[in-house]
Structure 1
Amino acid sequence: MTKRWTNRPDGSNWGEFGADDRIGRVNWITAEKVKQGIAEVREGRTFCLSLPLEYPGGNLLNPRRFPPQLFAVVREGRPNMALPLGLFDPRVTDVSSDDAALLYLQYSTQWDSFAHIGSMFDADGDGKPERVFYNGWRGGSDIPDVEDRGVGEPRLERFPSKGTEALGIHNFARHGLQGRGVLVNLHDECGDARTWVGYDLLMKAMDKQKVEVEQGDMLCFYTGFGEVLMSMGRKPDHHRLENSCAVIDGRDARLRNWITDSKVSCLIADNYAVEGLPAKDAEGSHAMLPLHEHCLFKLGVPLGELWYLSELAAYLKEHKRNRFLLTAPPLNLTGAVGSPSSPIATV
């Protein structure tokens, strides 16, 4: 084990789970926390919490991310889709299909790993900021640089990446993201209008809904954004989306402090980035994504984005509940910065 920093950021928990820690507050999703989630299962009813992978559609929400593409696997020079194998051996009666997909891993319902957002920070104490990620893991080595072959069309083959063993999404997958989920219904407070949710509004909603969180809980924010997105049928209206539904105010210091004190293990929302983008203005040197910086860089709290929470939220409201068993592993893809997920809530 090697301590990778001399200074750690104010308000961070670097080193508290060990010098080589890679999963942050996911460490708090223990066997006991899994049993607490299981104890919330009364009916055995399940809810799919993922958008279809082809949503939101297009690339208006993020010009660097594109919908998935499906391909037929090639079999002896032919596309292997509803392919009679008798073409190759007349004695054979099988008909075969086999396909492949090109995925942008953070296009739809997803998890952000700690390699997604770092910061320029003087972790060495020498007065010079370095590219640093959660727990002092370094950009350029632990999160390797990728050869720059020049700017052109956004084709993945231009910049092949080896990924990051240190902070890749596989670390969450191998731990297992299953435990107790807790939902706050922000749509009940804010409706469909774009509303910046700071500490006061969040506390008001949680008090009214009798929401309590404990160490290791996975906290979900339902805003209604997923319903708005689905209603557009993969043809998103950027102006409408920018002006719809609640977003967390990442600039609110009291809210960030509450996240620290709450000891939640993960933050999840049905909107694009959990926090509002662009964030509110700030003076001086600052993070463009303050909630991402606080959670991914300082605390080791994974962020789940673009989940589909509408049906679960309606059920929980009807039954005056806010807790459930949440099973939400990412892909076990070594080195990836983010990952699609197909979360399941069980009530």
Structure 2
Amino acid sequence: MSDTLKTTQDRISAVAATLTGGLLGASHEFPAFDAAPKVDGEPQGSLWGFFDKDGNKDEVGTLNLLTPSVVLAASHEISTGEHIQLDWALHNVEFPGFGRKQFHQKKIDMNESGNLKYMDDEIYINTQSGSQWDSLKHFAHQATGKYYNGLTHEQAKTTDTNGIHNWCERGGIVGRGVLVDWLRWYEHKNGNAPSPVSKHEISVEELEATLKWQGTTLRPGDIMMIRSGYVRWHDNASASERKSGTQENGIAIGMQSNEKSVRWLYDHHFAAVVGDTVAFEAWPPKFEEGWCLHEWLLVQWGTPIGEMWNLEELSALCEKKGRWSFFLTSAPLHVKGGIGSPPGAIALF
């Protein structure tokens, strides 16, 4: 990297940090994990009610951190205009797991009358069978059956509460994305990485080591992404390997589910988290231990989880540029009460 470019990036980072810190500190004074107000029936560290306003229950969780000033600060990440879409092609997951249906497209010739030649198409997708956002009504706390901010499973079945339409109506998801390229760090340090269809648990220590190796600093309100190698594995696997690894095997690499991970995620106050693997966290978690990240992120804090995003081209560009932060936009499907959605995500440099 040239000295001029590095100086420019340092200046941009300083301005962005000032803007982010100034507004975030003024608008959202988070209590320490152990000092968070107790929510009846929920574990210590729950943020139910934290974002409520004027007597109305909040339905967007930590996306509240993406205020205009935070987004403006994130926009300073754009310097060259290069951009990458992070959605995996919808047809890519050849053998969806967990009993989900495959993607299907029907191309329709609309020239039945012979007057006009034009085409339509119809598609079927299960919103959990490819690159996706999990909404705040996708996964409940398994012991209580409750979703973010107290929504019960019975209510979730019959109402639009906590649906993805709330994200769309606040302008989508726009902010500073940060890639934690764990795979590149691991292979640089250790050689071959663990199989993405094994339950390798990526620890906080490994994430911190990756960030230090990259020279990347996290900020409150970031959209944090972890590259584990799942998409790379799938893109290079045979059909039989894919079927075995995705449809016949419910095991996948991801972030470790334990108390240290939960506290680390809480302390960083991410707007959202993303992975290139099936469930973001190593799957399946040990629900009985109480540290399932889905239950903490989606349920206790209202933090959206992105899964199976294609971070391969992004990784290569970050490595080329020597920086792992960027401006991120995401436009989920505007479906009332939506439970999952392709992200429609673009990283801009």
On whether the aligned pair clears a TM of 0.5, the verdict is: yes
8 Å Cα contact 1:190-1:246 kept in structure 2 = no
1:38 match? 75
Deviation at 1:264, TM superposition (A): 0.7
Q: Any stretches of 5+ residues in structure 2 without a counterpart?
A: 1-38, 188-192
Q: 1:107 to 1:118 in 2, by over 3 A?
A: same
2:200 is equivalent to residue 166 of structure 1? no
2:266 is equivalent to residue 231 of structure 1? no
1:133 match? 147
Deviation at 1:247, TM superposition (A): 1.7
| Higher relative strand content | 1
TM-score in terms of structure 1 length: 0.79
Which residue of the other structure, out of 243, 255, 258, is the alignment partner of 2:261?
255
1:156 match? none
| Higher relative helix content | 2
Counterparts of 1:1-347 in structure 2, within 5 Å, are 6-18=40-52, 20-59=57-96, 62-72=97-107, 80-81=108-109, 83=111, 85-86=113-114, 92=115, 94-119=116-141, 130-141=144-155, 143-144=156-157, 164-175=159-170, 176-191=172-187, 192-194=193-195, 195-232=200-237, 236-239=241-244, 247-250=254-257, 252-279=258-285, 281=286, 285-286=288-289, 290-347=292-349
8 Å Cα contact 1:110-1:307 kept in structure 2 = yes
What residue identity is the alignment partner of 2:255? Answer: I
Tell me how far apart the structure 1 counterparts of residues 309 and 207 of structure 2 sit (CA, whole Å): 19
SS at match of 1:70: strand
Tell me how far apart the structure 1 counterparts of residues 102 and 72 of structure 2 sit (CA, whole Å): 37
Q: Identity of aligned pairs, percent?
A: 26
8 Å Cα contact 2:252-2:283 kept in structure 1 = no
What residue identity is the alignment partner of 1:184? Answer: V
Deviation at 1:114, TM superposition (A): 1.0
Tell me how far apart the structure 1 counterparts of residues 86 and 327 of structure 2 sit (CA, whole Å): 12
What residue identity is the alignment partner of 1:31? Answer: P
Q: 1:51 to 1:120 in 2, by over 3 A?
A: closer
Aligned residues: 296
SS at match of 2:281: coil
TM-score in terms of structure 2 length: 0.78
Deviation at 1:6, TM superposition (A): 4.2
SS at match of 1:95: coil
Choose 1 or 2 for highest CA Rg. Answer: 1
Aligned-pair Cα RMSD in Å:
2.3
